[in-house]
Amino acid sequence: MAPIIDLDLPLPPTAEQIAQDMKRWALGRGEKGMANYRYIFGPRKARELGVSLDELEDLSQALSPSAFDHLLLEKAQSLVVSLEDFVQQMDEAGIAWGAFRNVDNDYTANIIARFPDRFIGQALANPNDGMKGVRELERAVKELGLSSFYASPFRYGLSPNDKKFYPLYAKAAELDLPVFVYVTMNYNSALPMDLSHPRHLDEVAMDFPELRLIAGCGGWPWVPEMIGVARRHPNVYIDTESHRPKYLATPGSGWEMLLQFGNTLLQDRVLFASNWASYFQPSDDVLKRVIAEMQELPLKEAVKEKWLYWNARNLFNRD
């Protein structure tokens, strides 16, 4: 079996980050737009912390703010995985390297400097900042050494084909950067559900045929449309980010077309990207669990190796 490349490999969060997320699940009932995330993801995240979401909410009301913060931090300690231990997990799971991003490009660069053979960075740049954003993208690449651009319609409330993104796409083309684009539904009820529909990526691919576009999250629930866009444009790739692998093969899940075409006509343009943190809390075996589920998918063995390694290796020209 070839080694594995994970094109969305979140770093394990600190205890403070875990506690902050859990505080948001506990207190976010009325948060505009984002409350849906609490209902959908909160119960599972709370269980992995050893409580139910209702219990967490009750504790937030029964304890003083400082006592509640202390409790969350105490519980989060059990889930902490150091970066050094995480790299060891990568070795044990067979992951050669992975891509990750952070809101702070300098932070991303610092991690890569510590582990240059194990990670590459996805640069973030705000399309609402105009040329300031373009300059930040160029700085992230030329000065910090990041090697791709992550265009997030969800983060900025703009569809992928919004012309505010176009100067960044042009700069990415000039720098020969692969571009990751969030292409799926979102649960933020303050944004349109189809903000990142694959049809928007179709226009980008038409306008930038030289740009290597990676459609994140597989376009779900519009997988047939996503497949159509990829069939139309040889510069469009599809990754599996944020969806637990075992559900890709679950009948009725909506992924049937990805497995069909990804096993045949598009086998060279599907990329493994876990974003494991969207469905698992940190643990000693989290990466092994994700990889095992990927390897159990009903794909030809040679195709599995393409999804898990060769397609990303060829796209980034990096072993």
pLDDT in tens, 206-229: 999 999 999 999 999 999 999 999
Is 297 within 8 Å of 304 (Cβ atoms)?
Answer: yes
- Under the banding of pLDDT at 50, 70 and 90, the label for residue 311 is very high
What is the Cα Rg of the chain in Å? 19
The mean pLDDT of the chain is 95
Final residue belonging to a domain, choices 79, 104, 132: 79
Q: Are residues 95 and 21 in the same domain?
A: no
Q: Are residues 34 and 147 in the same domain?
A: no
DSSP code for 126? -
Give the model confidence (pLDDT) of 72-100 as tens digits. Answer: 999 999 999 999 999 999 999 999 999 99
pLDDT at 28 over 90: no
Give the model confidence (pLDDT) of 261-309 as tens digits. Answer: 999 999 999 999 999 998 888 888 999 999 999 999 999 999 999 999 9
Give the model confidence (pLDDT) of 188-206 as tens digits. Answer: 888 999 999 999 999 999 9
Residue 42 or residue 107, greater confidence: 107
Give the model confidence (pLDDT) of 235-273 as tens digits. Answer: 999 999 999 999 999 999 999 999 999 999 999 999 999
Q: What residue numbers bound the domain in which 96 lies? A: 4-12+80-316
Domains in the chain, number: 2
pLDDT at 34 over 80: no
Q: Are residues 99 and 246 in the same domain?
A: yes
Q: Are residues 91 and 39 in the same domain?
A: no
The pLDDT, as a whole number, for residue 46 is 86
Give the model confidence (pLDDT) of 118-151 as tens digits. Answer: 999 999 999 999 999 999 999 999 999 999 999 9
The pLDDT, as a whole number, for residue 116 is 97
pLDDT at 26 over 80: no
Final residue belonging to a domain, choices 34, 49, 79: 79
Give the model confidence (pLDDT) of 41-71 as tens digits. Answer: 888 888 888 899 889 889 999 999 999 999 9
Kindly give the residue spans of alpha helices, DSSP state H, lying in the chain. 15-27, 35-48, 53-62, 65-76, 83-93, 105-114, 131-142, 153-156, 166-174, 198-207, 223-232, 256-262, 286-295, 301-305, 311-316
The pLDDT, as a whole number, for residue 265 is 98
Q: Are residues 167 and 289 in the same domain?
A: yes
Q: What percent of the chain has pLDDT over 90?
A: 83
Residue 152 or residue 45, greater confidence: 152
Final residue belonging to a domain, choices 43, 60, 79: 79
The pLDDT, as a whole number, for residue 37 is 82
Q: Are residues 19 and 121 in the same domain?
A: no
Q: Are residues 75 and 96 in the same domain?
A: no
Q: Are residues 60 and 86 in the same domain?
A: no
Cα end-to-end distance, the chain, whole Å: 14
Q: Whole-angstrom Cα distance, residue 245 to residue 99? A: 18
The pLDDT, as a whole number, for residue 209 is 98
